[in-house]
């Protein structure tokens, strides 16, 4: 395995990832993504998933999905999220090679807890949290630290059989008491959670002692053969904790790649805030368009290739990265502009009455401007007594007020005569596009006044914009990503013969 292997492979078609450290030490590169199934995934998760997956693929290694569900009290998982997270990870095109669920592995954690108790590398601490903090902050051992292994194993049995209640005992890993970071000193590894008050969604009230994230993740990373842990800088203090545990177990520490923080300007990535907004009914659920969840992005027409480009741009670098909706939208626009079929949606329509139309016109509009192989969308405009009634968006009213002549896209040029708030009078000017260019006539999107479908666009703020949509959109299906001409990109959320609902992505 060599560094060259990396630069030649690049899934995103943009930047390549720098090589991982010390790959030669490992027979196989194994990475993992370890979400807590207490909510769906969001933009803040994509870096860990995509980097871990793509590095594993780059080195022909393995990528593991590990559900970290060992806190039924404060970070309680819910059954629905296991599947929703699987769906999110699959959507990102990060198929995993094996899946593990921490709550299936409680006895494995117990086994290793007993091992370190027996070897004297851990102890059962029965101090109150305040008393423990006072001693440890001063670099002093708590009275429990000098107990014999026999006494510790007896106390461990009491933790398991109910002799201690919630909060009365915790298993601590012995570290250097003078470690510069007090949070590392004799860190807690397993604790009691009242199994009746806080049943686990998968294993119910079967266990009363639960490992903390650090302990379970460290044990599994070794046992599952993880070679490279790729995660955010906020986990930096977990590495020295793991080192003490591994030393006690005689295990070698794996490689860590800690990337920088993700700063956001206008994207709210707080999981607890999102959960709160859902609970309070401020948003309609995890796929509400106002949320930066992957489910919401997927629903609105963001594509995994765009998110992958964003991740490759940030890479695994330790410097902090900044993300804004403008970045995300610009990257996504480049991806979907190539594939999105074009349709006419007239937001808040008004009628424009055009006089002097002496013949029937067939307007040919492309399904995609760069795909001449695709059939055009054709609109027939049949005047009655020299007058044609068409629909344009009331958003274009200001444009019409300012312009003498406008071009109705791919149809003809009209001279504006009067603009009222709910009706516009115009006269046929000319057909030729060159004429429109000569007088610098702006382009205006339109539809015939009859035989359209009912359209509704759910905007990023969850408001709904209504208007007619051309019936050609019936050839699409739910999930199609489209461009509503001069309005914006979006994804079809529901569709039948009369009605279409589109979730808006961006302009």
Q: Which residue, 28 or 157, has its beta carbon nearer to Zn ion?
A: 157
Nearest to 245, CA basis, from 189, 191, 190, 192 = 189
Cβ partners under 8 Å of residue 491, min gap 6: 298, 299, 300, 301, 479, 480, 481, 482, 502, 503, 505
Start-to-end CA span in the chain (Å): 44
Q: Which residue, 156 or 302, has its beta carbon nearer to Zn ion?
A: 156
CB of 195 to Zn ion, least distance (A): 23
CB of 141 to Zn ion, least distance (A): 8
Q: Can residue 125 be called a binding residue for Zn ion (CB under 5 A)?
A: yes
- Count the site residues for Zn ion by CB under 5 A: 4
Token representation of residue 160 = 């398991």
CB of 145 to Zn ion, least distance (A): 7
CB of 127 to Zn ion, least distance (A): 3
Q: What span, in angstroms and rounded, lies between the C-alpha atoms of 224 and 212?
A: 18
Q: Can residue 142 be called a binding residue for Zn ion (CB under 5 A)?
A: yes
Q: What span, in angstroms and rounded, lies between the C-alpha atoms of 476 and 454?
A: 15
Q: Which stretch binds Zn ion (CB under 5 A): 98-106, 134-142, 388-396, 458-466?
A: 134-142
Q: Which stretch binds Zn ion (CB under 5 A): 46-54, 119-127, 192-200, 367-375?
A: 119-127
Nearest to 203, CA basis, from 108, 83, 101, 114 = 101
Q: Can residue 310 be called a binding residue for Zn ion (CB under 5 A)?
A: no
CB of 133 to Zn ion, least distance (A): 11
Q: Which residue, 75 or 145, has its beta carbon nearer to Zn ion?
A: 145
Q: What span, in angstroms and rounded, lies between the C-alpha atoms of 413 and 441?
A: 8
Token representation of residue 256 = 């860590």
CB of 118 to Zn ion, least distance (A): 19
CB of 174 to Zn ion, least distance (A): 12
Q: Which residue, 52 or 152, has its beta carbon nearer to Zn ion?
A: 152
Query: Can you name the residues that pair with 502 across neighbouring β-strands?
Result: 457, 492
Q: Which residue, 142 or 217, has its beta carbon nearer to Zn ion?
A: 142
C-alpha distances in angstroms, 166 versus 6, 105, 159, 160?
49, 21, 9, 11
Return the residues of window 181-220 that contact Zn ion according to CB under 5 A: none
Q: Which stretch binds Zn ion (CB under 5 A): 21-29, 81-89, 139-147, 371-379?
A: 139-147
Q: Which stretch binds Zn ion (CB under 5 A): 73-81, 125-133, 237-245, 317-325?
A: 125-133
Q: Can residue 117 be called a binding residue for Zn ion (CB under 5 A)?
A: no
Q: Which residue, 113 or 142, has its beta carbon nearer to Zn ion?
A: 142
Q: Which stretch binds Zn ion (CB under 5 A): 53-61, 121-129, 213-221, 476-484?
A: 121-129
Give the neighbor-by-neighbor strand order of the sheet with 488-495: 341-343, 481-484, 488-495, 499-506, 453-458, 464-469
C-alpha distances in angstroms, 119 versus 101, 256, 295?
28, 27, 47
Q: Which residue, 167 or 442, has its beta carbon nearer to Zn ion?
A: 167
Beta 488-495 vs 499-506: how paired, if at all? antiparallel
User: b/e for 233-252, b at 16 or more Cβ within 10 A?
Assistant: eebeebbbbbebbbebeebe
Contact mark string toward Zn ion, 143..182, x via CB under 5 A = -x--------------------------------------
Q: Where are the beta strands (DSSP E) in 156-305?
A: 170-173, 188-192, 209-211, 228-232, 255-259, 262-264
CB of 124 to Zn ion, least distance (A): 8
Q: Which stretch binds Zn ion (CB under 5 A): 27-35, 126-134, 279-287, 499-507?
A: 126-134
Q: Which residue, 4 or 146, has its beta carbon nearer to Zn ion?
A: 146
Q: How far is CA 395 from the centre of its chain?
A: 32
CB of 142 to Zn ion, least distance (A): 3
Instruction: Please check whether residue 263 is in contact with residue 322, taking contact to mean a CB–CB distance below 8 angstroms.
Output: yes
Return the residues of window 258-297 that contact Zn ion according to CB under 5 A: none
Nearest to 409, CA basis, from 334, 343, 456, 499 = 343
Judged by CB under 5 A, which of 127, 291, 346, 495 binds Zn ion? 127
Name residue, tokens 């539809």. Answer: 447
SS3 category, 189? strand
Q: What span, in angstroms and rounded, lies between the C-alpha atoms of 131 and 210?
A: 22
SS3 category, 378? strand
CB of 186 to Zn ion, least distance (A): 8
Q: What span, in angstroms and rounded, lies between the C-alpha atoms of 301 and 332?
A: 9
Q: Which residue, 125 or 352, has its beta carbon nearer to Zn ion?
A: 125
CB of 132 to Zn ion, least distance (A): 5
Q: Which residue, 9 or 135, has its beta carbon nearer to Zn ion?
A: 135
Q: Which stretch binds Zn ion (CB under 5 A): 32-40, 112-120, 123-131, 325-333?
A: 123-131
Q: Can residue 124 be called a binding residue for Zn ion (CB under 5 A)?
A: no
Q: Which stretch binds Zn ion (CB under 5 A): 127-135, 287-295, 406-414, 457-465?
A: 127-135
Q: Which chain residues interact with Zn ion by CB under 5 A?
A: 125, 127, 142, 144
């Amino acid at each position: 395995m060599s560094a060259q292997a990396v630069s030649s492979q690049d899934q995103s078609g943009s930047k390549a990832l720098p090589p991982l450290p010390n790959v030669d030490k490992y027979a196989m590169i194994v990475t993992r993504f370890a979400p807590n199934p207490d909510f769906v995934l969001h933009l803040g998760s994509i870096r860990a998933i995509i980097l871990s997956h793509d590095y594993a693929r780059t080195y022909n290694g393995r990528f593991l999905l590990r559900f970290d569900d060992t806190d039924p009290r404060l970070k309680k998982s819910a059954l629905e999220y296991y599947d929703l997270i699987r769906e999110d990870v699959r959507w990102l095109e990060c198929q995993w090679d094996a899946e593990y669920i921490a709550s299936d592995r409680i006895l494995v954690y117990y086994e290793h807890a007993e091992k370190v108790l027996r070897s004297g590398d851990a102890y059962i601490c029965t101090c109150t949290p305040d008393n423990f903090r006072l001693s440890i902050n001063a670099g002093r051992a708590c009275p429990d630290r000098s107990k014999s292994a026999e006494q510790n194993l007896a106390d461990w049995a009491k933790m398991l059989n109910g002799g201690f209640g919630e909060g009365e005992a915790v298993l601590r890993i012995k570290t250097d008491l003078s470690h510069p970071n007090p949070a590392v000193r004799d860190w807690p590894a397993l604790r009691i959670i009242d199994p009746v008050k806080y049943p686990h969604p998968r294993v119910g009230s079967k266990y009363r002692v639960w490992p903390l994230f650090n302990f379970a993740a460290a044990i599994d990373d070794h046992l599952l053969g993880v070679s490279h842990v790729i995660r955010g800088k906020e986990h930096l203090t977990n590495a020295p904790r793991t080192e003490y545990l591994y030393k006690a177990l005689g295990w070698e520490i794996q490689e860590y790649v800690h990337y920088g923080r993700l700063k956001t300007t206008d994207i709210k990535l707080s999981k607890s805030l999102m959960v709160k907004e859902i609970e309070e009914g401020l948003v309609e659920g995890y796929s509400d368009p106002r949320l930066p969840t992957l489910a919401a992005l997927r629903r609105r027409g963001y594509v995994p290739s765009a998110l992958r480009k964003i991740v490759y741009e940030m890479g695994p670098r330790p410097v902090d990265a900044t993300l804004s909706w403008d970045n995300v939208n610009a990257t996504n626009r480049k991806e979907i502009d190539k594939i999105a079929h074009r349709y006419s949606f007239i937001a808040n329509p008004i009628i424009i009455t055009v006089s002097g139309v002496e013949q029937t016109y067939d307007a040919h509009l492309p399904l995609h401007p760069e795909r001449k192989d695709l059939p055009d969308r054709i609109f027939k405009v049949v005047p009655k007594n020299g007058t044609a009634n068409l629909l344009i968006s009331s958003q274009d009213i200001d444009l019409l007020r300012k312009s003498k002549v406008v071009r109705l896209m791919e149809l003809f040029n009209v001279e504006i005569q009067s603009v009222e708030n709910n009706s516009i009078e115009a006269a046929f000017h000319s057909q030729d596009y060159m004429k429109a260019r000569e007088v610098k006539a702006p382009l205006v999107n339109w539809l015939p006044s009859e035989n359209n479908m009912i359209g509704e666009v759910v905007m990023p703020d969850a408001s709904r914009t209504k208007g007619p949509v051309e019936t050609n959109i019936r050839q699409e299906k739910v999930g199609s990503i489209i461009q509503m001409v001069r309005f914006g990109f979006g994804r079809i959320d529901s569709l039948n013969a009369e009605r279409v609902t589109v979730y808006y992505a961006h302009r």
